[in-house]
Amino acid sequence: MATVDAHPGPFTFDPATTALIVIDMQRDFMEPGGFGETLGNDVSQLRRVIAPTEALLRACRAASLTIIHTREGHLPDLSDCPPAKLNRGEPSQRIGAPGPMGRILIRGEHGHDIIDELAPAPGELVIDKPGKGAFYNTTLGEVLAGQGIRSLVVTGVTTEVCVHTTVREANDRGYECLVLSDCVGSYFPEFQEAGLKMIAAQGGIFGWVAPSTAFIAALQPSLQRT
């Protein structure tokens, strides 16, 4: 077992039953011209997570941790997109509309894919999800159960939307979740701060929060064994 110095207290995990989840590091959210920016957001707020997440991925790969990436998006015919999600916002900026990186949030389009810096390595699972949470209408629950995973280390964007929804879904399903504060990002600094506080408040109501350096330090014995 390994222990991370976290809020609201130590987070103890077994690397053999822990998975790193990297949520929606897609061009549509992270790069100028994508869906996130069409919604009026400042994408530069998200880009600070790239460098620490690159370092985290290197450490997790060296420690042979299970790594799972997710992408939010929809089928080209939009049959998996509920009208309530599809009809939100300006028609030219909706899911499926043409954007500079292809149709917005449509699977197979350039903008839907993960940014080059954080591209999945061969063998790492990529889960396509139609919702904000990674469990809703995906195979993630079965995949984790099949691998005996008990703890999740959660990173990605955005903190208060897809990261929060996923952590809440995971917590209700019995997973212990550690959210890495410098590897999750929000377009809104005030949501970033509140989102992280909400996870660890009330004795860790949804999980634990720590910087990635604390988690990587806890992985060191696993690295030395390999």
Token pair 């879904």 is found at 169
DSSP, residue by residue, 134-195: SSTTSSHHHHHHHTT--EEEEEEE-IIIIIHHHHHHHHHTT-EEEEEEEEEE-SSHHHHHHH
Based on the shown chain and the rule CB under 6 A, indicate whether residue 95 belongs to the binding site for ligand TIU.
no
Based on the shown chain and the rule CB under 6 A, indicate whether residue 72 belongs to the binding site for ligand TIU.
yes
Segment 128-187, which members bind ligand TIU (CB under 6 A)?
A: 132, 157-158, 161-162
Distance CA 195, CA 185 (A): 10
Q: Whose Cβ is closer to ligand TIU: residue 49's or residue 157's?
A: 157
CB 63 within 8 A of CB 222: yes
Q: Whose Cβ is closer to ligand TIU: residue 11's or residue 187's?
A: 187
Closest residue (Cβ) to ligand TIU? Answer: 162
Q: Which of 129, 132, 177, 183 is catalytic?
A: 129
Task: Provide the minimum distance between the beta carbon of 45 and ligand TIU in the complex, in angstroms, as a whole number.
Answer: 10
CB 131 within 8 A of CB 164: no
Distance CA 46, CA 123 (A): 26
Which pair of structure tokens corresponds to residue 130?
A: 């139609």
Q: Whose Cβ is closer to ligand TIU: residue 38's or residue 222's?
A: 38
Task: Provide the minimum distance between the beta carbon of 70 and ligand TIU in the complex, in angstroms, as a whole number.
Answer: 8
Q: Whose Cβ is closer to ligand TIU: residue 161's or residue 219's?
A: 161
> Among this protein's residues, is 5 annotated catalytic?
no
Beta-bridge mates of residue 2: 13
What are the residues whose beta carbons fall under 8 Å from the beta carbon of 176, sequence distance 6 or more? 11, 13, 150, 151, 152, 207, 208
Segment 25-64, which members bind ligand TIU (CB under 6 A)?
A: 29, 36, 39
> Among this protein's residues, is 162 annotated catalytic?
yes
Q: Which of 28, 113, 132, 162 is catalytic?
A: 162
> Among this protein's residues, is 24 annotated catalytic?
yes
Local structure of 211: helix, strand or coil: coil
Q: How many residues bind ligand TIU (CB under 6 A)?
A: 10
Query: What Cα–Cα distance (Å) separates residue 26 from each residue in 101, 125, 222?
Result: 11, 15, 29
Q: Whose Cβ is closer to ligand TIU: residue 15's or residue 36's?
A: 36
Task: Provide the minimum distance between the beta carbon of 158 and ligand TIU in the complex, in angstroms, as a whole number.
Answer: 4
Interface with ligand TIU (CB under 6 A): 24, 29, 36, 39, 72, 132, 157-158, 161-162
Catalytically active residues, by annotation:
24, 129, 162
